[in-house]
Amino acid sequence: MAIGPTIPFTAIPWDDALFVLLAGTMLASGLAVVLMRDIIRCGLAMMVCFGSLAGIYVMAGAPVVAAAQVLVYIGAISVLVLFAIMLTQTKLAPARMAFQTQAVPAAIAAVVLLVVVLLAVGSTTWGGGPDRGDTKTTDVATMLFGPFVLPFEVVGVLLLAAVIGGVFLAKRDRSAADRPE
Amino acid sequence: MIRVILGSVLAGAFIVGLGLIGLAAGGSRSLNAYLTLSGILFAIGMFGFLARRNAISMLMAIELMLNAVNLSIIGFASFDEKLGPSGSVIALLVMAVAAGEATVGLSIILAIYRNKKTPLVDEYDAMSQ
């Protein structure tokens, strides 16, 4: 059975409804990341935010990026962040305040930036096409391993350096650990 | 029970209300909606980076900002057919760099935590003593 362009019994198009739901989930969970007091809930809200962003990428016609978003962000970075949270949470000194004393100036700065960005977006006519286009995966592959092959290799070297640097930094210093205080 | 139902209804209304921002900016078939969402997400991330005390919260806010930039790249790529595949490639490269940044940043935080025994950045005052 084919799915029509609008939700049955209403005049709402499916893509608008999906877009509203995904955008709302993304913004609400983004706010939760920033505003919640319990940091482990912030990490879980971050996973929700990344997931709904992957949905928005699909709606924008970039399915490869959406798949990579799920793999890299939800699968890898969120797990990394959650492990770091569990390693650094102390019961001895619970954070009484989640925010610094500069939270109010920070909020003002963020609102000012938001207004500037929204004004710039609203007052510019972008020269693109009137409708969105879907990106074909074969085109992405041709572009990635054709003109972009040098950045691709450089990113590989960068990831290797990041892995070695991460292991080196997080490694426990044996000589310092054995030394009596 | 009533409170749970009421809370879910309120949360759903909040989510739909926030999502209507995207619809008001033009819906999923206009570039302005994606750019507006990206700007809002970037502002949220900037507030989090400036205001939170926990170092890992600040890193999460940086991830939010990187995702906002990625969203605007994807938005531009989706509405310009000359830019289409290149935009996806650039977004993939940004993701790889973000993964490396998260790795190194979190291990730096772990190394500092091992010395200072606190994840709160306003107690990292070794330079000012």
pTM for this model (two decimals): 0.89
Give me the phi and psi of A15, to 5 degrees please. Answer: -70, -30
| Residue B128 in domain | no
- Please choose, from the candidates A55, A75, A81, the residue with its C-alpha nearest in 3D space to the C-alpha of residue A66: A55
As for how many domains chain B has, the answer is: 1
| Residue B129 in domain | no
| Residue B127 in domain | no
| Residue B54 in domain | yes
- Tens-binned pLDDT, residue by residue, of chain B (129 aa): 888 898 888 888 888 888 888 777 777 778 888 999 999 999 999 999 999 888 899 999 999 999 999 999 998 888 877 777 888 999 999 999 999 999 999 998 888 888 877 778 777 776 666
C-alpha A96/C-alpha A109 separation (Å) is: 24
The DSSP string of B57-116 is HHHHHHHHHHHHHHHHHHHHHHH-TTTHHHHHHHHHHHHHHHHHHHHHHHHHHHHHHHHH
C-alpha B63/C-alpha B52 separation (Å) is: 14
Q: Is B24 on the interface with A (CB under 8 A)?
A: no
- The residue type of B37 is L
Task: Check pLDDT > 60 for residue A75.
Answer: yes
Nearest CA in chain A to B75: A60
Q: Is A82 on the interface with B (CB under 8 A)?
A: no
C-alpha B49/C-alpha B105 separation (Å) is: 14
Q: What domain range includes position B45?
A: 2-122
Which residues are paired to B120 by β-bridges?
A: B54
Helix (DSSP H) and strand (DSSP E) numbers for chain A: 8, 0
| Residue B15 in domain | yes
Residue A15 contacts residue A6 (beta carbons within 8 Å): no
| Residue B17 in domain | yes
Which of A121, A144, A158, A181 best probes binding to B when mutated, by most B CB atoms within 10 angstroms? A121
Q: Within the 27-66 window of chain A, which residues sit less than 8 Å (CB to CB) from chain B?
A: 27-28, 30-31, 33-34, 39, 42-43, 46, 49-50, 53, 56-57, 59-62, 64-65
CATH classification of the domain holding B108: 1.10.287.3510
Task: Check pLDDT > 80 for residue A148.
Answer: yes
Per-residue pLDDT reduced to its tens digit, B36-52: 999 999 999 999 999 98
The pLDDT score that the predictor gives to residue B44 is 94
C-alpha B29/C-alpha B22 separation (Å) is: 11
The pLDDT score that the predictor gives to residue B96 is 93
Residue A127 contacts residue A51 (beta carbons within 8 Å): no
C-alpha A63/C-alpha B90 separation (Å) is: 14
What's the complex ipTM? Answer: 0.89
| Residue B89 in domain | yes
